[in-house]
Amino acid sequence: MNTDIQIAPSILSADFARLGEEVRAIDEAGADYIHIDVMDGHFVPNITIGPAIVKALRPHSQKPFDVHLMISPADPFLEAFALAGADIITIHPEAGPHLHRSLQSIRALGKRAGVSLNPATPISAIAHVMDLVDLILVMTVNPGFGGQSFLDSQIDKIAEIRRMIDASGRVIDLEVDGGITRSTAPLARQAGANILVAGTASFEGGAAAYRDNLAALRAHI
């Protein structure tokens, strides 16, 4: 078991009818982060939640809220998510005209700034903002829906970004999201990821299974 790897269960796979209880349960089961997928039906083909839900969930966990904005434009909503209780705000390079300025805005709000790369987004998109990035999220599925299969084509990208991070001399988390299971988690870990987002693998089986689900993921890393 590698205790240096952190697990960020995605509430996209939780029971939305009992979301507060689900967040409490996955927190108590050993989650390191609470990963919150925000989708607008425009940037990705699905609609999930907004700042009001993030604010409502905030009292249910003291774990860092890892908020992934799959919305465009993202800039008008950064402050709302910061005020709602996000600890990390991750945006996509394609979600606005000025990635550098957007990252500055997130940091000015006192939050950790993340950039997410879709499968077809080149690594060059982040080459000139490494000084502002606290987290890089590599999507190993096309964003928009949970339950998709891990794209092996992204393993080399993860490894290359790990080399970029190491060369930068900065402390930057490398997160992987999409199709993380007991069999794919080791692939992401070996490529250099230190945070794994797991939706179905975390929440399957109901609250009684959450602790065992997270333990099983850790045991296979």
206 marked among binding-site residues: no
Q: How far apart are CA 122 and CA 157, in angstroms?
A: 9
Q: Closest Cα partner for 144 from 121, 114, 170, 177?
A: 177
Q: Which residue out of 37, 40, 66, 75 is catalytically annotated? A: 37
77 labelled as ligand-binding? no
> 205: annotated binding-site residue?
no
Answer yes or no: is 200 a known binding residue.
Answer: yes
Tokens of 119: 């499968």
Distance CA 87, CA 80 (A): 12
The answer on whether 68 is annotated among ligand-binding residues is yes
Cβ 116 vs Cβ 8: under 8 Å = no
Closest Cα to residue 152, out of 176, 121, 116? 176
CB 109 within 8 A of CB 147: no
Give the tokens for residue 69: 């904005």
Known binding residue 85? Answer is no
Q: Which of 40, 75, 134, 177 is catalytic?
A: 177
Asked if 180 and 159 count as a contact pair (C-beta separation under 8 A), the reply is no
Q: 159: which 2 tokens?
A: 């490894």
Count of all residues that appear for the chain in the document:
221
Q: Is 177 among the residues known to form the active site?
A: yes
Q: Is 169 annotated as a binding residue?
A: no
177 has binding-site annotation? yes
Is 41 flagged in the annotation as binding? Answer: no
Instruction: Respond yes or no: is residue 37 known to be catalytic.
Output: yes
10 annotated ligand binder: yes
Can you say which residues are annotated as belonging to the binding site for substrate?
A: 10, 68, 144-147, 177-179, 199-200
Can you say which residues are annotated as belonging to the binding site for a divalent metal cation?
A: 35, 37, 68, 177
Can you say which residues are annotated as belonging to the binding site?
A: 10, 35, 37, 68, 144-147, 177-179, 199-200
Catalytic residue IDs = 37, 177
